[in-house]
Amino acid sequence: MLNYTIRRLLFAVPTLLVISFIIFAILDLAPSDPTGNLPLTIPAEVRAQIREALGLGQPFPIRYMKWLQQFFINEPLNMMEQWWGIQIGDSANRLRVTSWATRSPVVDLIVERMPQTLWVVGMSYVLGILIALPIGVISAYKQYSIFDQIGTFISMIGFSVPTFFTGIVLIVIFSVQLGWLPSIYDTTLQVTDWPSFWKQVKQMMMPVFVLALFNAAQIARFMRSSMLDNLNQDYVRTARAKGLREQTVVLTHVLRNSLIPVVTVIALGIPQVFGGAIITEQIFRVNGLGQLLIIGIEGADIPLVQTLTFIFAVLIVLFNLVADLLYGILDPRIRYD
Amino acid sequence: MGIAALVPVWTVKNLKTVLHTQDGVVHAVNGISFELSEGELLAVVGESGSGKSVTMMSLLQLLPTPPAEIISGSVYFEGKNLLELSTADIRHFRGAKIGFIFQDPMTSLNPVFSVGFQIMEPLREHLGMSKKQARQRAVELLELVGIPSAGDRLNDFPHQFSGGMRQRVVIAIALSCDPKVLIADEPTTALDVTVQAQILELVRDLRQKLGMTIIWITHDLGVAAGIADRVMVMYGGFAVEHADVKEIFKNPRHPYTSALLETLPGHESEGAERLRSIDGQPPDLVIKPVSCPFAPRCAYAQDICRRENPKLTSIENSDADIHEIACWVDIESGSLRK
Ligand SMILES: Nc1ncnc2c1ncn2[C@@H]1O[C@H](COP(=O)(O)OP(=O)(O)O)[C@@H](O)[C@H]1O
Ligand SMILES: [Mg+2]
C-alpha cells in the first residue's frame, strides 16, 4: 500500500506539470489585456509600460518557468517561513505569484477566502452526506414504497433544478417576503457569543441548504443504487439464513459493501468543496474561493485564475488517489502490489 | 428405517409458493408435502428450474416478499408452524436449529468480512457466546470441516480460499450452532468433480459424527444414490416420485424418473457412450398447471394426462416402505393405474 501510494504520488508529478502547462498555455492564448479595464485616457505608451512591469514582455517559456518557480519554490518557502517564524534566504526579494488586479500575492488572497468556502460549502457537503446516506439506505430497503417515491422525487428535483434557481427562490421567500434570513453573507461577522453565533447560523442557512440539497440528491441516488445492487446478493441470503437480525443484515452486511463505491464518490467530490460552489457563492455573496475565481476571470487577472485553477487540479489528482486508497482499505479483495 | 421413521422432526404439507414477476405469476411450488425422520437424509432431485430452491427457501421464509408469496401449506417443526411465525420469531430457527448451505460458495459469503467473523456471528447471536468463546468454537468448526491450520485462517477473507474451501466454510457456518436439520441446496454443483467428491465425503462423515437430519438438494441422481436414504423427484414444482433410495433406482415408476435414470452414465440402455438428455422443454411455470406437467415430454402420455393432474399416491405391490408417484400410467404395462 505504501509502495503504491509513493508510486502514485511520483506519477502525479509529471501529470500535474502537464496540467499546469496546459492551464498556463490556454490562459495565455486567451485574448485578454490586463490594461483593458483602465480608463481610455491612459496613453498607449503607459499601457505598454504597465504590461512590461507585469512581466508580459518576456516570451512565453520564460514566463511559464517563472510561474513554476514562484508557485513550487517561492510560495512553499514563504509558507514555511510564516508557519515556523523563521527566515530562509533572501525572503524580502523573493518573487511571489502576484495578482494583477490587487497587486497582492495570490496565495494570500486564497488563504483569506478559504474559511468562508470551507464553512459554507464544506458544511453543506457534510450535511448533504449525513442526509443522503440514511435516505439512500431506506429508499433501497423499501424500494417503491411511499418513502422511496418521495425520496426519489426530491432527489430528482435537487439534482435537476440548478442551484441559482433554488437559491433565488429561497432568497425571495425567506429574505424578501418573510425577512427571516439575510440574503448577503457578512464575512466580517465574528462569532464571540450566542447572539453572534445565531447570526452566523442564520446567514449560513440558505447557502448551506441549497448546496446540501444538491449534494444530498446526488449521493442519495448513489447510495440507493449501491444498496439495491447488494441487497440481491447471495451473501445477504446467507446472512438471513444464519438467523441474524434484519438490522444486522442490512446495516452491517449490506451497508458495509454498499458504502465502498459511495465513499469513493464522496472522496472524488471533495475538490469541488474547495472549488467552492461558484454560483451559490455568487448568489449569496459569500466571498469564498468560487467568488474569487469569478472576480479573477472578470478582471482578466491571469495569475489569479492560473493559480486557482491549478490548485483545483492538484486537489482533483490528490483526491483521486485518496479515493483509490480508500477503495483498497474498504475492499479486502483489492491488492495494491 | 425402523423406529426412527416413527418420529418425524419435520412435516411439510401442501406447500404452494408463487412468484409475482413481470412476465406473470410463476407457479414455482405447487403443493409439496414430505416428512423427515430424525437422522434421515432426504435427497430432492430435479432439473434446474423445477422449484427445489424455492421450496427450501419457503420453508424458512427466506424468499423476498414480493416477489414470492406462499399461498398455502404448513411446515411443522418442534410443534410450531414455521410459516406462521413472525420475522422476529423465525430468526431463532434459522441458523440456530436449521442450518442452510447454498449452491455457490463463490458468492454466498460476504466478501468484506473475515471468515472468522462470519462463523462467529451466529454463535454470538444464538448461543450468546463471548468473543473469545466464539473464536475458539470457530477454530473447532473449521477443523471439523477439514480446513488446514484453521487457527491461522480465521482472519482471512473469503477470496483467499478456493471454491471447495469456501464451501467448507459455508458448511462450518451452517453447523455452527449444532442444528437439528441441515438443508443443503446443491452444495456441490458449482464445484469441480474431485472437490465435489471431497465435500460429499465430508458430509457423510459429519452425518455419522453429528447425527443430523439432512435435506440434500441436487440435480444429479448419481449424487443422491451415494448419500440419500430417501429420494423425492421434483418436476415443474410438483413432487412426481418419492421412494426409498434403493427402490427408486431399482424400480422407478414415474416416466420422468426413469428418463432421468437413463441419462446417468453407466445406465445407457443401448450402450451409447454419450450422455443423453430428455427431449423437450421444461414446463413454463407461468401457465397455471392443470394437467400433468410432464405430459408434453412423456412417451406414455394419454388423454387424461393432458386433462388432469395426477395426485401423488402410493403404488400397489411395492415392498419398499415408501413409494409414491404422481402419474396416471403404469409404465410397466403402459395402461392406466387403478
Ligand atoms: N426471485 C425470483 N423471481 C422470479 N422467479 C424466480 C425467482 N426465483 C426462482 N424463480 C423461478 O422459480 C422457478 C423455480 O426456481 P428454483 O426453485 O430456483 O429451481 P431449482 O432450484 O429447482 O433449479 C424457476 O422457474 C425460476 O425461474
Ligand atoms: Mg436451485
Exposed (0-12), middle (13-18) or buried (19+): which is A16, by Cβ within 10 Å? middle
| Nearest atom of ligand 1 to the alpha carbon of B50 | 22
| pLDDT tens profile A72-105 | 888 888 888 888 877 777 777 777 777 877 778 8
pTM for the full predicted model: 0.84
- The verdict on residue B66 lying in a domain is no
Q: Give the pLDDT confidence score for residue A41 in this predicted structure.
A: 79
Q: Give the pLDDT confidence score for residue B160 in this predicted structure.
A: 93
- The verdict on residue A5 lying in a domain is no
CA distance A242 to B121: 8
Last residue of a domain, one of B122, B147, B176: B176
Q: Give the pLDDT confidence score for residue A129 in this predicted structure.
A: 94
Place of cell 433544478: A161
Residue of chain B minimizing CA distance to A253: B110
| Dihedral (CA of A48, A53, A58, A60) sign | negative
Q: Give the pLDDT confidence score for residue B6 in this predicted structure.
A: 58
Mean pLDDT, rounded, for B118-127: 93
Confidence band of A127 (pLDDT split at 50, 70, 90): very high
Nearest to A233 by CA among A260, A271, A195, A265: A260
The grid coordinates listed for A96 are: 511571489
Q: Is the CB–ligand 1 distance for residue B285 below 6 Å?
A: yes
- The verdict on residue B254 lying in a domain is yes
Do B169 and B252 sit in the same domain of this protein?
Answer: no
Q: How far is CA B251 from CA B33, B66, B166, in A?
A: 22, 41, 38
| Nearest atom of ligand 1 to the alpha carbon of B217 | 21
| pLDDT tens profile A282-324 | 888 888 888 889 888 888 888 888 889 999 999 999 999 999 8
Nearest to A304 by CA among A118, A122, A108: A108
Mind telling me how many Å the CA of A332 is from chain B's nearest CA? 6
- The verdict on residue A160 lying in a domain is yes
Q: Which ligand is nearest to the CA of B57?
A: 1
If you average pLDDT over every residue of chain B, what do you get? 85
Provide the number of CB pairs (under 8 Å) joining chain A to chain B.
76
User: Residue whose CA is closest, atom 8 of ligand 1?
Assistant: B54
Q: Give the pLDDT confidence score for residue B259 in this predicted structure.
A: 83
If you average pLDDT over every residue of chain A, what do you get? 86
Last residue of a domain, one of B118, B149, B176: B176
Residue B295 has pLDDT above 60, yes or no: yes
Residue B5 has pLDDT above 60, yes or no: no
Mean pLDDT, rounded, for B61-65: 88
- The verdict on residue A185 lying in a domain is yes
Residue of chain A minimizing CA distance to B60: A241
Confidence band of A2 (pLDDT split at 50, 70, 90): confident
To the nearest whole percent, how much of chain B has pLDDT over 70?
A: 93
Domain count of the fold of chain A: 1
Domain count of the fold of chain B: 2
Q: Give the pLDDT confidence score for residue B271 in this predicted structure.
A: 47
- The verdict on residue A250 lying in a domain is yes
Mean pLDDT, rounded, for A252-269: 93
Q: Is the CB–ligand 1 distance for residue B54 below 6 Å?
A: yes
Q: In this structure, are residues A127 and A212 in contact, taking their beta carbons and an 8 Å threshold?
A: yes
- Domain span at residue B300? 242-267+284-336
| pLDDT tens profile B166-215 | 988 998 999 898 888 999 998 887 777 787 888 888 888 888 888 889 99
CA distance B101 to B95: 10
**Among A206-215, B249-258, B303-312, B326-335, the least confident range:** B326-335
- The verdict on residue A93 lying in a domain is no
* CATH at A279: 1.10.3720.10
Q: Give the pLDDT confidence score for residue B221 in this predicted structure.
A: 86
Q: Give the pLDDT confidence score for residue B1 in this predicted structure.
A: 42
| pLDDT tens profile A229-240 | 999 899 999 999
Q: In this structure, are residues A211 and A120 in contact, taking their beta carbons and an 8 Å threshold?
A: yes
Residue A332 has pLDDT above 70, yes or no: yes
Whether chain A has a CB inside 8 Å of the CB on B96: the answer is yes
Whether chain A has a CB inside 8 Å of the CB on B102: the answer is yes
Q: In this structure, are residues A120 and A207 in contact, taking their beta carbons and an 8 Å threshold?
A: yes
Comparison of pLDDT for B94 and B277, the residue scoring more: B94
CA distance B79 to B303: 43
Last residue of a domain, one of B152, B176, B200: B176
User: Residue whose CA is closest, atom 24 of ligand 1?
Assistant: B49
In this complex, the residue of B104, B108, B112 whose CB is nearest that of residue A332 is: B112
Q: Is the CB–ligand 1 distance for residue B67 below 6 Å?
A: yes
To the nearest whole percent, how much of chain A has pLDDT over 90?
A: 31
CA of B52 to the centre of ligand 2 (A): 6
| pLDDT tens profile B270-289 | 544 444 567 777 888 887 88
CA distance B42 to B109: 26
- The verdict on residue A11 lying in a domain is no
| Nearest atom of ligand 1 to the alpha carbon of B46 | 22
- The verdict on residue B324 lying in a domain is yes
Mean pLDDT, rounded, for B300-329: 82
Q: Give the pLDDT confidence score for residue B273 in this predicted structure.
A: 47
Mean pLDDT, rounded, for B310-323: 80
- The verdict on residue A6 lying in a domain is no
To the nearest whole percent, how much of chain B has pLDDT over 90?
A: 34
Confidence band of B52 (pLDDT split at 50, 70, 90): very high
Q: Give the pLDDT confidence score for residue B58 in this predicted structure.
A: 93
Single-letter residue type at B230: R
| pLDDT tens profile A134-165 | 999 999 998 889 999 999 999 898 888 888 89
- Give one word for B186, left, alpha or beta, with left for phi > 0 and alpha for psi -120 to 50: left
Place of cell 483545483: A312
CB contact under 8 A, B94 and A331: no
Q: Is the CB–ligand 1 distance for residue B21 below 6 Å?
A: yes
Nearest to B299 by CA among B273, B318, B321, B327: B327
Q: Give the pLDDT confidence score for residue B276 in this predicted structure.
A: 56
Mean pLDDT, rounded, for B237-250: 89
CB contact under 8 A, A240 and B94: yes
Helix (H) / strand (E) containing B275: none
CA distance B70 to B57: 11
Whether chain A has a CB inside 8 Å of the CB on B125: the answer is yes
CA of A295 to the centre of ligand 2 (A): 65
Confidence band of A279 (pLDDT split at 50, 70, 90): confident
Bridge partners of B218, per DSSP, are B45
The radius of gyration of chain A from alpha carbons, rounded to an integer in Å, stands at: 24
A chain contacts of residue B173, beta-carbon cutoff 8 Å: 238, 242
| Helix-strand-coil split of chain A, %, nearest 5 | 75, 0, 25
Confidence band of A276 (pLDDT split at 50, 70, 90): low
Residue of chain A minimizing CA distance to B110: A235
- The verdict on residue A228 lying in a domain is yes
Q: Give the pLDDT confidence score for residue A261 in this predicted structure.
A: 92
